[in-house]
Amino acid sequence: MKPGKILAVSIFGYLIYIGFQLFVMFNPNSPERLRNAQENIPSATEQRADNLWAYYLINADNPLPADFTVGLDKVQGNYMLDERCAGYARQMIADAAKDGIELTVVSAYRSVQKQQENLESYTQRLISLGHSSTEARKLAEKEIALPYTSEHNAGLALDILTPDWWETHDDVTADFENTEQFRWLTENAHKYGFIMRYPKEYENVTGIIYEPWHYRFVGVFYAGEIKESGLPLEYFYKTHF
Ligand SMILES: [Zn+2]
CATH of the domain at 236: 3.30.1380.10
Q: According to the model, what pLDDT value does residue 45 have?
A: 59
What is the percentage of the chain residues whose pLDDT exceeds 90? 62
pLDDT at residue 144 greater than cutoff 50:
yes
Q: Answer yes or no: do 122 and 204 share one domain.
A: no
The pLDDT mean for the chain works out to 88
pTM attached to this predicted model: 0.79
Q: According to the model, what pLDDT value does residue 231 have?
A: 87
Q: Which residue has the higher pLDDT, 124 or 3?
A: 124
pLDDT band for 160, please (50, 70, 90 cuts): very high
141 is catalytic: no
Element (H, E) at 181: helix 180-188
Q: Which residue has the higher pLDDT, 193 or 19?
A: 193
- What single-letter amino acid sits at 140? A
* Calpha distance 207→59 (Å, rounded): 8
Residue 30 lies in domain: 1-39
Q: According to the model, what pLDDT value does residue 46 have?
A: 63
Question: 42 φ, ψ to 5°?
Answer: -70, 160
CA of 203 to the centre of ligand 1 (A): 14
Q: Answer yes or no: do 50 and 145 share one domain.
A: no
Indicate the residue among 87, 121, 149 that finishes a domain: 149
Q: According to the model, what pLDDT value does residue 241 have?
A: 36
CA of 48 to the centre of ligand 1 (A): 28
Question: 104 φ, ψ to 5°?
Answer: -110, 115
* Calpha distance 138→226 (Å, rounded): 29
Q: Answer yes or no: do 190 and 237 share one domain.
A: yes
pLDDT band for 17, please (50, 70, 90 cuts): confident
From the CB of residue 68, how many other CB atoms can be counted at a distance below 10 Å? 13
CA of 98 to the centre of ligand 1 (A): 25
Q: Which residue has the higher pLDDT, 37 or 58?
A: 58
Q: Answer yes or no: do 168 and 206 share one domain.
A: yes
Q: Answer yes or no: do 206 and 167 share one domain.
A: yes
Non-local CB neighbours of 105 within 8 Å, separated by 6+ positions: 75, 76, 77, 79, 89, 93, 158, 159, 160
Q: According to the model, what pLDDT value does residue 125 have?
A: 95
Mean pLDDT to the nearest integer, 8-33: 68
Q: According to the model, what pLDDT value does residue 74 have?
A: 98
Q: Answer yes or no: do 93 and 128 share one domain.
A: no
Q: Answer yes or no: do 160 and 192 share one domain.
A: yes
Compute the Cα dihedral for 135, 139, 142, 144 and give only its sign.
negative
Q: Answer yes or no: do 90 and 62 share one domain.
A: yes
Mean pLDDT to the nearest integer, 122-128: 95
CA of 143 to the centre of ligand 1 (A): 9
Least confident range of 32-36, 106-110, 186-190, 225-229: 32-36
* Calpha distance 217→208 (Å, rounded): 17
Q: According to the model, what pLDDT value does residue 161 have?
A: 98
DSSP state of 104: E
Q: Answer yes or no: do 69 and 15 share one domain.
A: no
CA of 214 to the centre of ligand 1 (A): 4
* Calpha distance 66→214 (Å, rounded): 24
* Catalytic member of 151, 201, 211, 225: 211
Non-local CB neighbours of 222 within 8 Å, separated by 6+ positions: 49, 55, 193, 236
Q: Answer yes or no: do 63 and 175 share one domain.
A: yes
What domain count does the chain have?
3
Q: Which residue has the higher pLDDT, 49 or 224?
A: 224
Q: Which residue has the higher pLDDT, 17 or 96?
A: 96
